[in-house]
Amino acid sequence: MTDNVGPMQEVQPRLVARMSAEASASADLDDVCRWLIQRQFDPVLLDIDDVPALGQGSRLKLALPITAPRAVLCALWLLEDADAGGCLLVGQLRFVAHPTGPDIRLSFRGRTATATMTDRLHGQADHAARQLLDVIAKLIERALSPSPSLAFG
């Protein structure tokens, strides 16, 4: 009995771009947790101008946060802005409170989800991550701003 073994096919791993960035925000961890929980079932729609390095609109989907005394950790998916949109980026958000100051430090560590996105971000993956963190910091800070009160006369 002979074994028929066809030509070996080389399996090439899909190349992904690793990305990371850090930023600051004026918020406390309680506010961050509230915002993350509110957004868990309500993804944030991002316009092409929000993260221009991506070159397209997207939806920011967040998981339930994990908390610690001075930190919050949350999984993040950035999806194409379509009904059955594919995943563009995946990673984790980390929010760390300053021990004595009012600000928090945000960091994102992740990767592109497809080789196509890796090609599109050629050399700009960390730049896209910084843009994404800037948008997230602004969204959290905006959620904290008191809405203008209506004057009734």
User: Which candidate, 41, 13, 31, places its Cα nearest to that of 118?
Assistant: 13
Give the per-residue pLDDT at 79: 92
Give the per-residue pLDDT at 20: 94
Q: Output the six-digit token pair for 112.
A: 């592109």
pTM score above 0.85: no
Give the per-residue pLDDT at 107: 96
Sequence spans of domains, the chain: 18-143
If you average pLDDT over residues 57-86, what whole number do you get? 90
18-143 architecture in CATH? 2-Layer Sandwich (3.30)
Please check whether residue 110 is in contact with residue 76, taking contact to mean a CB–CB distance below 8 angstroms: yes
Please check whether residue 129 is in contact with residue 54, taking contact to mean a CB–CB distance below 8 angstroms: no
Q: Which residue has the higher pLDDT, 8 or 99?
A: 99
User: Please, which pLDDT band fits residue 153 given cuts at 50, 70 and 90?
Assistant: very low
User: Which candidate, 121, 132, 109, 113, places its Cα nearest to that of 47?
Assistant: 132
